[in-house]
Amino acid sequence: MNQAEFLNVVLPFKDKLYRLAKRLLVSNEEAEDATQEILLKLWSKKKAMESYNNVEAFAMTMTKNFCLDRLKSKQASNLKLVHSNYGDEGSSSLQKQVEAKDSIDWVEKIMDELPEQQKMVLQLRDVEQYEYEEIEELLGMKPTAIRVALSRARKTVREKLMQKHSYGIG
């Protein structure tokens, strides 16, 4: 596999790798470093990559494992799980942009309090749009466990948002 072929395979999901790393590591710099590290590891495995059924799933698993190792290391003891969701492109009013940013910030704070497994499932399913089978492969979880974790995570986010915004009261 030459450089052009490698880039054709890897570039379409490079941003997903970054978002997953950003989800797991607190700073942009840490996420960028992790993404770069994974890309280097993929490059070193470029010959073996041709035999993989799903290079993206392999890369996502590498990213998850790298970031979790990083979180467990002594030098990263102050890092925590965080959510980053970039959205609201287009021409919205400033008020709508501020409200959307506020909502994203609240969801980030709520997701920060979720158990790690629920965070991962929610990130992969609702943010990255992975299918259940892909999540099962990436996280090594049974389909029922994925659905339960996702349901609990969504319920927690929904309940805390309702408390914050006092929805349905008044």
Give the domains, in start order, of the chain with CATH numbers: 1-82 (1.10.1740.10), 89-170 (1.10.10.10)
**Gap between the Cα atoms of 35 and 110, Å rounded:** 25
Q: What is the pLDDT of residue 27?
A: 75
Residue carrying structure tokens 């997903």: 16
Q: What does the DSSP 8-state code read for residue 13?
A: G
Q: What is the pLDDT of residue 72?
A: 74
* Helix residue ranges, H only, 114-142: 116-122, 132-139
**Gap between the Cα atoms of 103 and 98, Å rounded:** 9
Q: What value does the CA radius of gyration of the chain take, rounded to a whole number of Å?
A: 18
84, 108 in Cβ contact below 8 A?
yes
Q: What is the pLDDT of residue 81?
A: 38
Q: Which of 75, 60, 64 is nearest to 129 (CA)?
A: 60
Q: What is the pLDDT of residue 120?
A: 87
**3-10 helix and 28-44 helix, angle to the nearest 10 degrees:** 130
Q: What is the pLDDT of residue 161?
A: 79
**Gap between the Cα atoms of 133 and 146, Å rounded:** 10
83, 23 in Cβ contact below 8 A?
yes
Q: What is the pLDDT of residue 12?
A: 92
Q: What is the pLDDT of residue 23?
A: 84
Q: What is the pLDDT of residue 75?
A: 44
Q: What is the pLDDT of residue 169?
A: 53
Q: What is the pLDDT of residue 98?
A: 76
Q: Per-residue pLDDT for the chain (170 aa), expressed as one digit of tens each?
A: 788 888 889 999 999 999 988 888 867 888 899 999 999 999 998 888 888 888 998 999 999 889 888 877 744 444 443 333 444 444 447 777 777 777 777 777 888 888 989 988 988 888 788 889 889 988 899 999 999 999 999 999 888 877 876 655 54
